[in-house]
Chain A
Amino acid sequence: MKSPQSMGMNRSGIDLAPQGAEEMRKAVREFPPSSEGNQHTLAQLRAPYVAEADPIGSIPVPGTLTGAPKSGMQKLMGRHAEVLIDKLGGRLTFERTGTRLYDALIAKFSSRKDEATMLSVDQLQQFRAEEKAHIGLCWDALCQLGADPTAVTPMADTHAVVSLGLMQVVTDPRTSIAQSLYAIHVAELADNDGWHLLIKLARELKQDDIADGFQAALQEEDHHLATLRTWMEQICLDEAGVR
């Protein structure tokens, strides 16, 4: 299989403009920096901003705290319930984005199946359906705790920012199936560890029913990750012509 990246001339390196690079070196020798210091000097400007920064936002207070607490919340009394709410909100966001990532990959794969013959639309659809089901798990768990699943928690916002680059890669019509899979691989790696952490946190906070419900999701995520690793390896070796 010919790599989709093997066509055309890449001009980003200096080997294509050796004379220009030599001239640039001459200019660097003639016109020195205007200020002393090094890369560590930059930290001095950043430090006060870091010290004085406000948080990106707060964890939403469960609406039911103003009324009778729900059973899940009762168990959390005296513990840091907001940490679980924050992480659940993050997981919820990531599963939503993950579902959309699979939507984008499926759309691209439908037009470019010859790039990755080991993939099947059915398999991708299954993974997509499982990601979507995980949204419901997180949503229900937040409701069980009396939290608002529509609110954006700080962790959810962090996930959304992290995911921007992944979405840019997968939705770009120019990126190959392999490059798109790489973005989803990154997402699945973080997703997998996210579920491990969430289950551990739920158990520590005595939310065993929630943790038990998440166990099946983790098994599905394990399967996603293992499959993606296999696909990535196969596509790479195919492109290199060694498989």
Chain B
Amino acid sequence: MGINLLRDKGTPVDRQQFSWKDLVPKPISKLNVDAFTRVRIILMNGIESETMRFSHSCARMNKELQGYLARVRRKEQHQQTIVNWLLPADQSPLETTIAYEQVAIEVTAALAKAEPDPYIAQVLRYGLLEDFDHLYRYSALLDRLQGIDANTITQGYTDIVPGRPTSDEHRDPLDDLREHYDKRKAAPLTKLHAYTILAGEHQTHDYYMHYGPWFADPLARQLYAEIASIEEQHVTQYESIIDPTESWMEKWLLHEANEVYNYYSCLEHEDHPAVRAIWERFLDYELGHLQFAIDVCKHVERRDPAEYLPETLPDPIAYESHREYVRQVLRDEVDLRTDGSRFVNRSQEPDRSLSYRKQMNAEGSPSETVAAGWRWTPGGELVADKGLREAA
């Protein structure tokens, strides 16, 4: 599929219409759907959520753009509703959390593998090992709280083992900041990666903050508190790789282009007919939003959008298992730490991060406690010693 970001008109904003029935589609089946369809749904909710967040921030700082942003934002909000409402009611908050971490692992790995800027690729791999560990901790919680095997959600695509231990991930805020790409020199793909990963991590943080208090169990409440804190670190990390000298208009265009890129990536991989139809529809809607923003750029800001946007899209995000890649990163980089924006060996970690971590773990570590001696096994640890058949 050849998409021209500067010329393809998509569905004009004024022809993008919804109804309340439309906003509530049939949900996917938790049991039958392929895990990567669920991964795409969750990421696209995050992509829409990030666009909403940006649009509001932009409106607060740019009076002349408020009307334009508001018109597009209403469409984005309704799109997000349709996407997020695809998740079914029988998928519990903890099961959805497992799926969020699968998103974080498989999407981050896909981006890191494809990322042309070596430093940004390193940043992505650094975050990858931390989210990889979160899947292991939450899987232990799901098994030990409810007796449910997390692999019923991840479906064999993603390993469930420790990564960089969550208890080691707590850092001084200054050690979460990274160097940003140069907006004039960075490849378009680097910018799309940065906007995508920021969207995914920010919604993950918000999800954990929303559902942490939903749990009765104090260990679950502590674990959500601990991992939400890391997700906040990740948001700090990933927003710092975006060039802060991009103008508001440039950032708006990049957000819209990134939505086009992400819906296009979903469409390229999707087999679920009803979900595929949504990706197709919203790809056209996002092209409409991009054209709308391009017009604003030309006529209000009097800038050429080609200064900011590529004409064509890079290859789509690879929605597939990255098992071997993740394992190799784990073997090679589990002991990496950060000193400001530099990546260093754990022996060189600054005192400020060591003392912060010591303080936070002073009364015990929920992520270590929940997974004490825990190993993933088909069906969960309760059946591990029962001599049940080896299914594979």
Contact = CB atoms under 8 A, between A and B. Distances in A.
Contacts of B377: 28
* Interface range on chain B (Cβ under 8 Å from partner): 35 or more
A57 interface: no
Contact of B391 (A14, A36, A42, A49): A14
Contacts of A30: 161, 327
Interface stretch (B2-10, B233-241, B306-314, B363-371): B363-371
A96 B214 CA distance: 24
A31 B330 contact: yes
Contacts of B381: 39
Contact of B157 (A8, A20, A38): A20
Contacts of B364: 45
Given A34-B162, A45-B366, 6 more contacts: A13-B152, A27-B159, A28-B377, A33-B373, A36-B373, A42-B144
A32 interface: yes
B71 interface: no
A16 B378 CA distance: 13
30 contacts: A8-B29, A10-B32, A11-B34, A12-B155, A15-B392, A18-B156, A18-B392, A20-B155, A25-B392, A27-B161, A27-B327, A28-B377, A31-B159, A31-B162, A31-B330, A33-B374, A34-B368, A37-B369, A37-B372, A38-B372, A39-B372, A39-B381, A41-B369, A42-B219, A45-B222, A45-B364, A49-B218, A172-B89, A172-B90, A174-B27
B392 A14 contact: yes
B89 A168 contact: yes
Chain A CB within 10 Å, residue with most, of B34, B88, B391: B391
Given A27-B327, A33-B374, A11 B369 contact: no
A4 B69 CA distance: 46
B151 interface: yes
A21 interface: yes
A34 B165 contact: yes
Contact of B378 (A21, A38, A44, A50): A21
Nearest to B145: A42
Interface in B9-39: 27, 29-35
A144 B95 CA distance: 46
Contacts of A19: 156, 392
B321 interface: yes
A11 B372 contact: no
A174 B88 contact: yes
B61 to A, nearest CB: 42
B274 to A, nearest CB: 13
For chain A, what secondary structure do more than half of its interface residues adopt (helix, strand, loop), or is it mixed? helix
B219 A45 contact: yes
Contacts of A17: 155-157
Contact of B375 (A9, A16, A28): A28
B372 A24 contact: no
Contacts of B153: 12
Contacts of B27: 174
B330 A33 contact: no
Identify the 7 closest CB pairs spanning chains A and B, nearest first.
A20-B156, A37-B372, A17-B156, A41-B372, A31-B161, A49-B218, A27-B159
Interface of B: 27, 29-35, 88-90, 144, 151-153, 155-157, 159-162, 165, 167, 217-219, 222, 321, 323, 327, 330, 364-366, 368-378, 381, 391-392
Contacts of B378: 14, 21
Interface of A: 8-25, 27-28, 30-39, 41-42, 44-46, 49-50, 168, 172, 174
B321 A20 contact: yes
Nearest to B165: A34
Contacts of B33: 11
A28 B374 CA distance: 10
Contacts of B152: 12-13
A13 B391 contact: yes
Contact of A21 (B30, B330, B366, B391): B391
Contacts of B327: 27, 30
Nearest to B324: A23
A168 B90 contact: yes
A174 B91 CA distance: 13
Contacts of B392: 14-15, 18-19, 21-22, 25
A12 B376 CA distance: 15
A8 B32 contact: yes
B85 to A, nearest CB: 13
Nearest to A175: B90
Contacts of A31: 159, 161-162, 330
